[in-house]
Amino acid sequence: MVIGVLTLELAIDGAMSLKDKRRAIRGLKDRLAHRHNISIAETDYLDEHRRSEIGIAMVSNDARFVESCLSKIVDEARRARGASLVDFSIEVL
């Protein structure tokens, strides 16, 4: 069993309140969860309205498949409207 963990650090463009941030993050989380078989949650910076960290987990039996899927998710996060990718890390266990 292979477990892949992806951490995305995002800057939320134009968010003036936590409500604006949550709207942008919810949209990104919903799109990623719909397109990929992943578990996803906001994991840090919950009280900051211009910054967010999202944790993503994926389980498979093939490490290359997990890395490939998580890399595709990073590419999608780079293109996301309303949020800018600041940093990311991929860990395969």
What secondary structure does DSSP assign to 70-92, as a single string?
Answer: HHHHHHHHHT-TTEEEEEEEEEE
**Structurally, what CATH architecture does the domain formed by 2-92 represent?**
2-Layer Sandwich (3.30)
Query: What's the one-letter identity of residue 83?
Result: A
* Domain ranges across the chain: 2-92
Query: pLDDT tens digits for 55-87?
Result: 999 999 999 999 999 999 999 999 988 889 999
pLDDT tens digits, 6-63: 999 999 988 888 998 999 899 899 999 999 999 999 999 988 989 999 999 999 999 9
**Using an 8 Å Cβ cutoff, are 4 and 67 in contact?**
yes
Supply the pLDDT for residue 69. 95
In angstroms, the CA 59 to CA 79 distance is 24
Q: Are strands 39-44 and 2-12 parallel, antiparallel or unpaired?
A: unpaired
